[in-house]
Structures are given as structure tokens and as C-alpha cells.
């Protein structure tokens, strides 16, 4: 029996072979139900709130960490 190329490391060979067979036979329905991060289930408004918070944190960090950046942002446009 040939070893499938897509077997992840760290999984016992027998378990990986069974998993590969399920996928080949189309029984891998669980792949559609996987949620990797909680952000995948949030509403658009909640995602925008998170994005705004992260942007504000990035701007504040850069302003406080890099004096040249702070000087440039203080100048009138």
C-alpha cells in the first residue's frame, strides 16, 4: 500500500490512512463544520469593532514607539 502524500505528521499511520480513505469516499463532511477562530462566527459590525480597536492600538503603538513617526503625524497636512 502506497503512503498518501497528505498525511500530517504526528498522526498514527492507521488513523491517517482511515482519515484519507474517508476523504476519498466523500465522507469528510466534518471539514465544512470546522471553525478555526471565534471571529468566523461574528457579525459584520462586531468584526468592524475588532478591526477598529486593532487599528487604534497599532497607531498608538507606532506613535509612542517611533519618535520620527510621531513628529510627522504632528505636522499640519
pLDDT in tens, the chain (77 residues): 455 555 556 667 777 777 777 767 765 555 555 667 777 788 999 999 999 999 999 999 999 999 998 899 888 87
Cell of 42: 461574528
How far apart are the two ends of the chain, measured CA to CA in Å? 69
User: pTM above 0.75?
Assistant: no
Amino acid at each position: 500500500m502506497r503512503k498518501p502524500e497528505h498525511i500530517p505528521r504526528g498522526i498514527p499511520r492507521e488513523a491517517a490512512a482511515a482519515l484519507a480513505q474517508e476523504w476519498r469516499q466523500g465522507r469528510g463532511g466534518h471539514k465544512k463544520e470546522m471553525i478555526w477562530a471565534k471571529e468566523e462566527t461574528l457579525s459584520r459590525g462586531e468584526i468592524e469593532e475588532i478591526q477598529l480597536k486593532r487599528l487604534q492600538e497599532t497607531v498608538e503603538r507606532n506613535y509612542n514607539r517611533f519618535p520620527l513617526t510621531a513628529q510627522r503625524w504632528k505636522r499640519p497636512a
